Amino acid sequence: MNISALPERGLARKPFGRTTDGVPVDLYTLTNSNAMQAAITNYGGTVVTLIVPDRQGRPADVVLGYESLDGYLADSPYFGSIIGRYGNRIGKGRFTLDGKEYTLAQNDNDNHLHGGIKGFDKAVWQAKGSLAGKDPTLVLTYLSKDGEEGYQGNLAVTVRYVLTDDNELVIHYEATTDKPTPVNLTNHSYFNLAGQGAGDILGHELMINADRFTPVDEGLIPTGELRSVTGTPMDFRKPTAIGARINRDDEQLCFGGGYDHNWVLNKRGREMSLAARVYEPSSGRMMEVFTTEPGIQLYCGNFLDGSLVGKASKVYEHRYGLCLETQHFPDSPSKPNFPSTIVKPDEKYSTTTMYKFSIK
């Protein structure tokens, strides 16, 4: 590759379009010293492109998405977005807190999914880019009002994206509230380490650092059990191609239409630890996911069906991307045995997730 063509380390901003209400949104491009780039819009805090070199140094965009805001406004299955106030499902859109029942927006049959009808993925966030620290940083803030999608409490949210020279995209999530509320923030990037639109992800080799997962019912709501992965297609403790067992006659795979489950990460507490590693053999690209969270959702684009056309006119067919959504477990507000997701007014919600890229 022509070295002089490498983009310079820095941070740039350009217009990305206007929402249907006419609100202008921008695209911020963070570039590190190795020409790795993350382009992020303040519409939904969405990671629009992520440019990562392969083992020959050739760059490719490894996330699915759209070239302009219009694509995201028209139809996006949460491509690259920040998910909130609650990542994944809350059964029947209902939970009880301090003896009172709350009813949330139902947007996934009768369940509540990814924050409801207008989740954080569809909000325009206040944005501030900065090069003042060591690394290019984008700080996004959003005030989720009391009552939004059925949640109580004004929730002030800050998400910081940092791109380091060690090829890490680090995401810090913080929130404070004035009334107790469940909070479970994540990012919904669809990765394809061979390059977006290049094919399905069945050949990606995956390791998940988890001895247990949370089995679901047919509506993808956890039953409450923490089940051992031993002897099941959920055992990714040794790196295994995602496609190796995906067609097995297995009740859980049948409910999910493939993998669409939460794993219980092996860890002691809230420390930053390795949750998952993905390797794509043809490009040599590897991605490791570190997090302070107790769980991770693997979703393999089971609902992609070729009807969405993304960047560079690529058609997103079945299983063309995989999501590794770090999180607390789905339906925690109704599962007393799961780690609590309730944030109280005198507490600060604070989690960190890092996607680290390398080659092998």
Look at the alpha carbons of 167, 32, 283, 200 in this order and tell me if their dihedral is positive or negative: positive
Task: Please state the closest distance from residue 114 (CB atom) to ligand GLA, in A.
Answer: 6
State whether residue 170 is helix, strand or coil.
Answer: strand
Give the closest residue to 8 by CA, choosing from 30, 28, 25: 30
Torsion (CA) 298, 176, 338, 229 in degrees, nearest 10: 20
x-or-dash string of contact with ligand GLA, 304-323, rule CB under 6 A: -------------------x
x-or-dash string of contact with ligand GLA, 254-293, rule CB under 6 A: ------x---------------------------------
x-or-dash string of contact with ligand GLA, 220-259, rule CB under 6 A: x---------------------------------------
Residue 331 engages ligand GLA in binding (rule: CB under 6 A): no
Give the closest residue to 259 by CA, choosing from 309, 314, 300: 300
H or E element in which residue 289 lies: strand 285-291
Which residues are bridge partners to 162 per DSSP?
137, 170
Strand 89-90, strand 94-97: pairing: unpaired
Stretch that binds ligand GLA, among 148-156, 166-174, 281-289, 296-304 (CB under 6 A): 296-304
- Cβ atoms of 61 and 53 within 8 Å: the answer is no
State whether residue 126 is helix, strand or coil.
Answer: strand
Q: Residue 280: CB partners within 8 Å, gap ≥ 6?
A: 192, 193, 194, 203, 204, 205, 286
| Of residues 84-113, those binding ligand GLA (CB under 6 A) | 88, 113
Q: Residue 10: CB partners within 8 Å, gap ≥ 6?
A: 31, 131, 136
Binding residue count for ligand GLA, defined by CB under 6 A: 11
Q: What angle do CA 337, 210, 322 make, to 5 degrees?
A: 105
Catalytic hit among 148, 261, 325, 328:
325
Comparing CB distances to ligand GLA, the nearer of 299 and 355 is 299
317 is catalytic: no
Of the candidate residues 291, 297, 327, 352, the single one contacting ligand GLA (CB under 6 A): 297
Task: Please state the closest distance from residue 268 (CB atom) to ligand GLA, in A.
Answer: 26
Of the candidate residues 303, 339, 342, 358, the single one contacting ligand GLA (CB under 6 A): 303
- Cβ atoms of 342 and 182 within 8 Å: the answer is yes
- Cβ atoms of 29 and 48 within 8 Å: the answer is no
Comparing CB distances to ligand GLA, the nearer of 146 and 303 is 303
Task: Please state the closest distance from residue 168 (CB atom) to ligand GLA, in A.
Answer: 23
347 is catalytic: no
Task: Please state the closest distance from residue 77 (CB atom) to ligand GLA, in A.
Answer: 4
Comparing CB distances to ligand GLA, the nearer of 34 and 106 is 106
Catalytic hit among 188, 204, 261, 328:
188
Give the closest residue to 14 by CA, choosing from 36, 30, 3, 33: 30
Task: Please state the closest distance from residue 217 (CB atom) to ligand GLA, in A.
Answer: 13
Residue 119 engages ligand GLA in binding (rule: CB under 6 A): no
Comparing CB distances to ligand GLA, the nearer of 201 and 323 is 323
Of the candidate residues 16, 142, 279, 299, the single one contacting ligand GLA (CB under 6 A): 299
Give the closest residue to 85 by CA, choosing from 200, 173, 185, 171: 185
Of the candidate residues 45, 65, 71, 77, the single one contacting ligand GLA (CB under 6 A): 77
- Cβ atoms of 216 and 226 within 8 Å: the answer is no
Residue 78 engages ligand GLA in binding (rule: CB under 6 A): yes
Comparing CB distances to ligand GLA, the nearer of 89 and 314 is 89
Which residues are bridge partners to 354 per DSSP?
170, 290
Catalytic center residues: 188, 325
Which residues of the chain form contacts with ligand GLA (CB under 6 A)? 77-78, 88, 113, 220, 260, 297, 299, 303, 323, 325
